[in-house]
Amino acid sequence: MRNLILPFILLLTFVFSCRENSNDDVLEKKNPSYDVYIAGTENNKACYWKNTIKTELTNGDNINTMDIKVENNDVYVTGVLITNTTDNGIQYFWKNNIRTDVKQYLSIPNNVQYDINSFTINNGDVYFAGYVENPAATNTLDRFELCYWKNGVKTILYKSQYISTVKSILVDGSDVYVSVTKVDNNQNAEKGYYKNTVFNSISTTHLVFNFIKNNNGIHLLIFKNNAYYSFNINSNTETILGGYILPVISGKLISDKLTNDLYMIYNDGGEYYKNTTLVTPNSYQLPYIKDLFVLGNNIYMIKYKFELGYNAKVLINGVASQDISGTFQNGNPYYTGTFNSIYVVEN
């Protein structure tokens, strides 16, 4: 009998052990962890934080960060000189804390007008978009080139004697989408987007902003008739998000890639939309939303104010996780400490 009991006990131990391991696996899947990246400045120096741990960016003195993206553990940050007084847009970018001068990287000649204002990463390829003046143009009608660059190689989308502007760039497989306001040689402005080198017109009066992609298609944020809409490029359909009468300065569309819900922030306002529902988050006496990222129904947000100085917090589902403050620099419109952009990666 003893010989039968021992194997029975061992069998029970094995079964419970398997159950425990199985439960652990389920818990792991239900409770993923996330890395939260924040780009900003502190003490007049460009930096970023990963889960509140700061990394000072190489040669980042007096540079304000603009955007942060993470792909395959590579961290990309864009920046501009704090004292910049021209409309050159992005002037520097870092990949894993190695700084690159954008003007040199894109082979832009000296003493020309340019504005590189959109940036993205796709499978390790670096994309920029904007306009640049061609000083060697033989025809003044071709003076300004609307372009995007992939790894420093330029693709010209449009030429005109007047400046056309880029709002956003998105890469989907081998296709490159660029939202633009295109100005022809008669000064007529047309809003729309390029898919590769083919222009798709939306309107002469609407405003266009950024692209996002989810399982329902590629969406472009547009503004028309005092309202923001999500325009699904794949289905050619529009969905109203919210209406506004105040002058429109900016807008940003965000997608939760795990749920396909759409979110929208606008004009550095204090509210955001989830699909068509207006949400007013905890203020912490901070009235403005600087940036928003959503993943798995978790809301990651930068809120701030500037009254006799700058104060900002990173909020995760309404709970403050880190904060920063900065003082105003006399003679220059910037603060010594800021939070500017947020990006979240699931482990």
26: confidence class by pLDDT, cuts 50, 70, 90: very low
- pLDDT tens string 71-115: 999 999 999 998 765 667 999 999 999 999 999 999 999 999 999
Q: Which CATH number covers residue 216?
A: 2.130.10
What is the predicted pLDDT for the residue at 294?
98
Q: Which tokens belong to 337?
A: 């400490």
Instruction: Output the pTM of the full model.
Output: 0.89
Q: Residue 34 and residue 298: Cα distance in Å, rounded?
A: 10
Query: Span 264-277, mean pLDDT?
Result: 91
Confidence band for 231, pLDDT divided at 50, 70 and 90: very high
SS3 255: strand
C-alpha 60/C-alpha 49 separation (Å) is 14
Residue-range definition of the domain harbouring residue 123: 2-346
Rounded Cα distance between 128 and 253, Å, is 19
> Quick one: pLDDT at residue 333?
66
Specify the pLDDT at position 240: 92
Mean pLDDT estimate for the chain: 89
Residue 217 CB neighbours (<10 A): 17
Q: Is the pLDDT of residue 332 over 70?
A: no
Q: Quote the percentage of the chain above a pLDDT of 90.
A: 76
Q: Residue 280: CA atoms inside 13 Å, Cβ hemisphere, count? A: 3
Q: How far apart are CA 186 and CA 123, in angstroms?
A: 39
Determine contact, residues 40/49, Cβ cutoff 8 Å. yes
- pLDDT, one tens digit per residue, over 211-223 is 999 999 999 999 9
Q: Could you give the maximum distance between any two Cα atoms of the chain, in Å?
A: 101
337 CB neighbour count, 10 Å cutoff: 20
Q: Tokens standing for 308?
A: 């006799």
Report the distance separating Cα 106 and Cα 118, nearest Å: 13
Residue with tokens 């409770």: 31
Position 17 pLDDT exceeds 50: no
Please give the Cα distance from 328 to 42 (Å, whole number). 12
- Number of domain units in the chain: 1
Give the count of beta carbons closer than 10 Å to the beta carbon of residue 62. 16
